[in-house]
Structure 1
Amino acid sequence: MKFSVLVAIVPEDREQEAIDAARNEGAGGMTVLSGRGISNSAKKSFFGLQYDGSQVVLLMVLEKSLSLQVMKAVQEVIMPDGQDSSGLVFTVPLEHIGGIDASQLEKFEQYVKECM
């Protein structure tokens, strides 16, 4: 079985929506990290204070064929109706893995069987 790592960088106010979208497409557990982005455009200022906004990084290990579905669902959260993106989502192939929960492996195997 092949795996991918899905990385989604979403605005903090859309965190739960992105998590729900990923879970609805079959993602199980994920790691949530807090972040702060630095863009190449001018920063917003309020009384001379600069504010870039907070972001959340979601990390998921997924069965390779499942990762595209999850990616598309999260992309819809960060780009609703083709609007400008408010985040980023991508996958990276995973060569070696250790420590994954056996129940998660069973879930992936069941998903693959249902898709065939």
Structure 2
Amino acid sequence: MKFSALAAIVPEDMEQECIDAARDLGAGGITVLAGRGISNTKRKTFFGLTYDGSQSVLLMVLEKGLSLDVLKALQKIIMPDGEDSRGILFTVPLEHLGGIDFSQVEKFEKHMKDSLE
């Protein structure tokens, strides 16, 4: 079984929607980190104060096929109807993995079997 790490950097207000979508597809554990983005465009100011939107960084270890399904679902959330993206998503293949709960591996195996039927 091959695994991928999926990273999703999304606006803080979309965090829970993205977590729910990933979990509905079979993601088990999700690590959530707080982030702050610096864009290549000029920062927004409000009464002389700059605003750098808050982001959430969602990290997941998933079975390779499931990672693509989750990535596609999250893309629909951060880019609804082809609008400008409000985040970024990427996967990285994992060569070695330790510490994953065996029950999660069983869920991944079930997902693989179900997708083949």
CA distance in 2, matches of 1:23, 1:77: 14
CA RMSD of aligned residues (A): 0.7
Residue matched to 2:12: 12
CA distance in 2, matches of 1:109, 1:13: 32
How far off is 1:44 after superposition? 0.4
Alpha-carbon displacement from aligned partner over 1:58-100 (angstroms, at most 9, x marks no partner): 0000000111100000111110111000000110000000000
- Structure 1, unmatched stretches of 5+, are none
Residue matched to 1:103: 103
TM-score normalised by L of structure 1: 0.97
CA distance in 1, matches of 2:102, 2:24: 20
Q: Which runs of 4+ in 1 moved over 6 A?
A: none
Alignment: residue pair count: 116
Does residue 1:29 correspond to 2:29, yes or no? yes
Letter in 2 for 1:17: E
Residue matched to 1:45: 45
Tell me, what secondary structure is at the counterpart of 1:65?
helix
How far off is 1:26 after superposition? 1.6
How far off is 1:112 after superposition? 1.2
Structural mapping, 1:78-97, within 5 Å = 78-97=78-97
Greater Cα offset, 19-28 or 32-41: 19-28
Letter in 2 for 1:58: L
TM-score normalised by L of structure 2: 0.96
How far off is 1:113 after superposition? 1.6
How far off is 1:20 after superposition? 0.9
Greater Cα offset, 17-26 or 93-102: 17-26
